[in-house]
Amino acid sequence: METCLKAGRVKVVSIVVPMVVLIALADREVGLVVSLGVLYILPMMIGAVACGPIEIFLLAGACAFLRSWFDTPATDAEAILRFTFALLAYFVSGLFVVTLVHNRRRAVDHLATLEREQALRREAEEQLKLLVESSPAAILTLDHRGTVLAANKAANALFVIPVGKTLLGRSITPYIPLLSDALGVESVEGFRTAAKCQGCRETGDIFLADTWFSSYQAPEGMRLAAIVVDSSEEMRDREDQNLRLLRRSNRIAAAAVSHEVRNLCGALSLLRANVEEKLGLSQDEDFKGFATLIKGLDRIARLELDARAQEQLEEVPLQSVLDNLRIVIEPDWQECDGVVHWQLPEGIPAVLADPSGLLQALLNLARNSHRAVQQSDTRELCVSVSVRDQRAYVRVQDSGPGVVSPESLFQPFQPGAEGTGLGLYVSRAVVRSYGGELRFEPSESGSRFVVELQVV
């Protein structure tokens, strides 16, 4: 049939006509003994491949006539019946072939349509796969149990999956617990949302993650598609910018205080010169002014940056502040081949503070330690937390050379300090505004500072 379809109408007719003639001649030779009319089925089926219904009927009539002409002797009634049955048999066989050809063409067209659709689908899937694999954002698909069904290369890189291994088949709970919790939200039509949360890498490092995820129903249950981006760098830049702004405001305040002190000192020098020219010191008005200026200078010298009245204190989870501190400082220590040790107990309580100000105070201590260990062979920082008598103690100790003059640590404008030397001075003022304290503790090696806070 495949050969006849490819041959064309002319070639099929050129094959059918000789076959009919040959069968008729053979039937004439043996017609008195046996009928060869059944052989006409073969040219009928071949001809039906390229002919229409009318042409098939005419060909069937010709074959039936030839069969009855050279058939074995019979009565008129038998001859008519043989002719009728032969005509029907030949015509039906031709129609059967026509139906087969029609169904085959429909099947071929349907198969071609399917192949085109599959080709388009494969192209779309390849483009989508290329888009997903080339995306810098981690893209995940989770089943109803929180198991990763699909993950791109960025996801493996984000969670620091070892080479040769993949996230597929793993639970997302150790990495992004929020996504696992989202699968428990009951929603018939699914939901779409975005959230900030903390993620954890395979190495145990934590990071700040921006997530966009949506749920959808599948035959196996709820599924989740998520996009995860590491926003730790943005948070580090933001906190560094806040620290720079804080230091800038400190310099402005210190400059204003210094200006007032210089004015008073100038007036004090002038009055002192006037007093020296006079002898009656006890009753002299200039001497009384001198004493007043000394008191004013004393008040300015004792002025501290006490912001208790301006601070909006709140219950701050200390664990959250330390996690943000960890995200900010660990990359700098890793770049200098340093190690940060975290000795944090379970169930760290909330404290009374401002989260941004407390983070800035701890960040200032960590930055000072980072500068102190640059020339040391061992570069380590230890951050520990202890709770006692409704007070939380955060200790920051480094492996640097230590402090030469601890008594001058919290004094502003100290010699040798970077910038204005107000870092520790302001940090202590900030912590004191929360009802806490920042102090230096002697240690056998390095330097150790303690931040004392009120437990809520």
Q: What is the pLDDT of residues 131-171, one digit of tens each?
A: 888 889 999 999 988 999 999 999 999 999 998 888 999 99
* pLDDT value for 7: 60
Contact 427, 361 (CB under 8 A): yes
Render pLDDT for 64-105 as a digit per residue (tens, 0 to 9). Answer: 887 777 766 667 787 788 788 888 888 888 888 778 877 888
pLDDT digits (tens, 9 = 90+) for 197-232: 999 999 889 999 999 999 888 888 888 999 999 998
The domains spanning 138-230 and 314-454 adopt the same CATH topology: no
**pTM summary value:** 0.56
Residue 56 contacts residue 16 (beta carbons within 8 Å)? no
Q: How far apart are CA 383 and CA 446, in angstroms?
A: 13
Grade residue 356 by pLDDT with cuts at 50, 70 and 90. confident
pLDDT at 429 over 70: yes
Residue-level pLDDT at 310: 46
Segment among 42-51, 174-183, 270-279, 339-348 with least mean pLDDT: 270-279
What is the C-alpha to C-alpha distance for residues 427 and 431, in angstroms, rounded to an integer?
6
Query: Which residue(s) pair with 200 in the sheet?
Result: 206
Per-domain boundaries in the chain: 2-113, 138-230, 234-301, 314-454
Six-digit token pair at 371? 């500068």
- Superfamily designation of domain 314-454: Histidine kinase-like ATPase, C-terminal domain (3.30.565.10)
Per the DSSP assignment, residues forming a β-bridge with 340 are 381
pLDDT digits (tens, 9 = 90+) for 293-339: 766 666 665 554 443 444 467 899 999 999 999 999 999 999 989 99
Domain 138-230 part of CATH 3.30.450.20: yes
Q: What pLDDT shows up at residue 432?
A: 86
Q: Choose the weakest-confidence range: 11-25, 198-212, 260-274, 343-357.
A: 260-274
Torsion, Cα 193 195 198 201, to 10 degrees, reads 40
* Residue 389: other Cβ atoms inside 10 A: 5
DSSP label at residue 166: -
**Pairing mode of beta strands 339-343, 380-388:** parallel
- Both tokens of 158, joined, read 């984000």
Q: Which residues contact 258 (CB under 8 A, 6 or more apart)?
A: none
Residues 6 or more apart in contact with residue 84 via CB below 8 angstroms: none
Helix-, strand-, coil-residue percentages of the chain, each rounded to 5? 55, 20, 30
